[in-house]
Structure formats: C-alpha cells, structure tokens
Structure 1
Amino acid sequence: MFFEQADSSGNPCGRRLYLFFAGHGLVPPPPDTSGCALVMADARATLLRGLLGFRAADAMRMTGLFHEVMLVMDCCAEVSGQSELACFLPRYGDPTLAARPFTHIQAAQWGASTAERMLDDPFDSSAPRLWQGVLTNALLRGLTTAADASGVVTAASLKQFLEATEVGGPKIEHSNGAANDVMSFGAAVGLTVDIALSGTATRFQIREGNNFSVVIPPRAVAPVRLAPGQYLFDALDPQGTVTRSVPVSVREGGTHVQL
C-alpha cells in the first residue's frame, strides 16, 4: 500500500492528497461547530454516525505523507449527531511537523443545507445536463477556470470563485503552510465566450474591465476563452474604429455577446 511506503526521514511520499466526501452530512453537537461529517452507511435514525472530514484531513497532514492535503465535503450540515474519525486512514501523526499547505471546502456552513440540481456538464456545456451537487459542479469548473492575475488557478483564486457562485455560502479555509507554498492547480483553460457582430463591425477586441488593457487583439469572429472577470468587448469597423463597447462579466461558460 502507498501508506506503507512512508519515508522514515519525514519527507512526503506524495505531492497532494485529495479527500472527497459527498452524501448526507451531519455536524457534531455544540459546542463543537468546527467541521462536518459524512453519514455512514450503517447509520440509523436512532444512532446517526458520521466520519469527520476535517479531522481526517488534519490527521493526514500530521502524518507527513503528503506535502498538501485538499478536503472537499459536498454534504449538508444542518443535522447534529455523533461523529468520529473511524476509518482506515493512518492514525499516527506528529503534531510538531511544520504546517503544510491545505485547502478545506465545505458545501454548507453549520446548521445549513446544500443542494443538488440539473446542471450543465462542468467540462462541456454542449453535453447533456447532469444531476449534480451544486458545490461539486462549481468546484470542477473552478479548478479549470478560476485563474488569478497570472492565469494560474490557486487555492485563493478558487476560494474567490466559489464564494462568487451560487453554492449557498460554502465554508472555505486554506493555508500556504509554514514555507508559504501556494497551492496551485495549474494554468486555467478559460471560459468559452461566443461573439456575434452586427452593423458595420467586421472584427472585435477584448479589453480588461478595470485597466482597459487589450487582452485579445482585433480579430475576426470566433469563440474565445477567458478567465472569469470583468471585460469590455469592442466592435470594430473595417478602419479599426470602435463602434460599440459592451461591458461583460464572464462568470460561466457559454456566455454570448452581441456587438
């Protein structure tokens, strides 16, 4: 097993561990309001039992097996019940290890619920719609599109993206650890935007919505991919004169702009 290959020197064996929990959730009774738990398959109405996701993530960080740990809990948090960390993840750990980067994402705050809906495929808006958890759908979109100013998806930019989407007020915590290592998920692929021209316009350009710098130079009509953000779409006539400008907030794929 992977866990049996732990480096006795304390160096991580893996770069990042993903822990994903989805299903019915519960929270420990007050005063412990720090986390959410996934309801176990053997839970009964008279004895609700749940696996504490936050505690599992914290325990895994203390093992030193991974440099980073990411936890996602697409679970409700409105029901209180008995919860514990009872699973086959390693139980040993060293609390004196230097803090390592982590991201914890919980779909609902304490006492709140999350939702499932028919939603667009997070990777292909032209594909048939799917019944999905709202947080999971937004997360999958964010991991490929929620870029920071440098075009890279990070824990911070992902948090900003999720908090701006309709996921019902998720609880999101992240840290770069003692060495200030930014959790990065790679370069963003961008959101697809379709453009249509009218009148005398033959080309278009796109400017950044805050400083008005050109992010896509003049070009003929064709779909473009943009990181989430505010933009100005300019229609250009054959002489290159701007004939119309439209401010557009790009937050979802499949945006259509008429110029």
Structure 2
Amino acid sequence: MKLDDFLKEKAFSKYKNGIDRIKEDFINSGYERFLCRQTLVEWDDAKKTDIKEINAEKYVVNKNVASFIKQFSNIQDSDIAFIYPESYAPNYFMIQELVKYAKSDYIIENLIPEDETINHIVIFDCNNKEVIQLMNHLVYSAILGENFGGYKLLGEHVCYYLEFCGDDSLIYTMKVPNSLMHFQGYTTRKDNNPYVLYNTRKNIELLVGKGYFETEFELYRMLWSSFFVTFVAKKFIGLLLG
C-alpha cells in the first residue's frame, strides 16, 4: 500500500507525526509493498511461499542459531518460562516482584553481538499456578497492539521478522489454517505500523548483509523451523503472540 494512501486513512493518521524523517527512504527502499497488504495478495504469497519451501533444500541450522538455542537446554519439562525485555514500562517493575517466586531469572545471550537489547528469561515451576497466571497477564495479555513480552531482536519483536521477509517476487507468508482465522481471534495485524516496519526491514537487511543469514528466506525458515519450534517445545508462554 502506498504510504501516502495509508496515512490518509483516519485509523492510521496518528503515524503522520514524524513520518517525514523516514518517508523518503521508506518509499525508495521499496517498503510500501510490505505495508497493510491486501488479503488476496497475502493468500497468493502464502501459496507461493509454501511451494518455495517444498522445493527448497532441507533446512540446516547455522552455527549462530544453534548456539543461541543451546542456552535453553536447561529448561525442564516441569518448568514454565517467560521472556520479557528490560524496560521502564510499568509491567517490567511489577514483573520484578513476581520474579522473587521464580526458580531462576537471567539475561539471554542475544542471537548476534551487535544486538544491545536486554532480554530476560524467567522460569517457574509449573505448579506455581497463581504466579504463572499473573505473569502471563503482565507479559502477554495485550488486547490491542504488541504484547510487552516476547524475545526482541535488535529492539523489535521476532514476530515482525516473520512478516517482513521476502524477495523480488513475493513476501514470505505463513500458510494460515483457513480464511476464517481472522474471525477466530487472530485479529492483530503486524503490517500497519510504518515505523516498526521500517526498523524491522533495516534489521533484516543488516542480518543478511553481515552474513548471519545467507538470504531472507533462510531467516524466515529459521524462525519457523528452529526458533519458534524450540520455544514451543520448552513451554514458553505466548512467545508467538507479540
């Protein structure tokens, strides 16, 4: 969607303030094609992405990702884990009170050395149900917008990287269960904030440009094949929600 057309929409006019700072580069870099995509375009890209994955060579975890994932091997089957960023937000300070009841709380070693984001992981025994419920509310219960918790890569939630990877022919799009998913609770779009889109695309280009991933397709496959699979297996609550 054209950025100017996007900003004319009443619901998105709030993004006009300060947009001139990134507008020219946003347009010249081709980021408009990621902005508020039409549903039919998304479905078409999902089909093409599925075909590309079927025809691709078997995914092999690179050494940076393997090293990152290894640090979560200490999480037991009886544990429930949460990831949250260090922040001045009220949620962070309330979480610090709940951390007193945790088995452990420590700072995660980030995926790449350039990343200065401070991500915490806190681990609770699964029997500590009341604290876990409250923790889940503080970390992952946003009704609108982005949740407070979840792993942040270069300052942006990993779910955005899944939305904004692509090549010249398509934007890599996960295959949804069916076309009614929107009406079954998955209502938060990830492509309607031009500032987050801009920052995430710059981060993706940095990750590929510095050789952490050979292509954006490798990054996209890593998120689905290694990153999220590991976190689901290790009982991270709500990591995918963003």
> TM-score per shorter chain, which class?
under 0.3
TM-score normalised per structure 2: 0.22
- Structure with a larger share of its residues in helix: 2
- Structure with a larger share of its residues in strand: 1
Higher relative contact order (CA 8 A, sep 6+): 2
- When Rg is computed on C-alpha atoms for both structures, the one with the higher figure is 1
